[in-house]
Amino acid sequence: MVLKFGEDYSQELDTIFHNSCCAETVAHFLCSLAIFARQSGFRDGLDDWGKFKMQTPDLQGSIDLMPYGNLGVCGELLMAFSKGESEFDSRLREAHDRCAINCRGITKGVLLVTDFWDNEKFWDIQATTFEKLSVENGVVLAAAIWTGNFFAVQRIIPQYI
């Protein structure tokens, strides 16, 4: 797990997502979201950031933003945003289904951006489906967990490369 006080997640995301051409843009999105989150808290900041991103879709490139992106557009990387415990399971399921069904073979990485992570629930309920997705389609799952001042970024599946 990488803890960052600074505003650059590029190196960590390059490593996690195998030097994807989109990792730098994802790092930029995380940095800008961190600014919003520091100002008004993660959940309000995420809402404000999402509204801003929806007004500037040309900045997204080949990154799919869930739920703030263009429905039906598949990207190489998917950023799935989850607020609190109430969205944790459903956003992971939506991200999995998007990669396995709607964007099969296109999306190669998922970054769950959240302020809540339930490790036990994930490994008991969700892990098997993401492990299968990783083996069959090469999809990497990572999490960026908001700590109050910065994101802790960690690859989840596959655990070892």
**What would the pLDDT profile of 36-49 be if each residue is shown by its tens digit?**
999 999 999 999 99
Dist. CA 22–CA 25, nearest whole Å: 5
- pLDDT at 161 (0 to 100): 56
Question: Looking at the predicted structure, is the pLDDT value of residue 72 above 90?
Answer: no
pTM of the model: 0.90
d(CA 59, CA 83): 23
Closest CA to 94 of 62, 60, 69: 69
Please choose, from the candidates 15, 18, 107, the residue with its C-alpha nearest in 3D space to the C-alpha of residue 62. Answer: 107
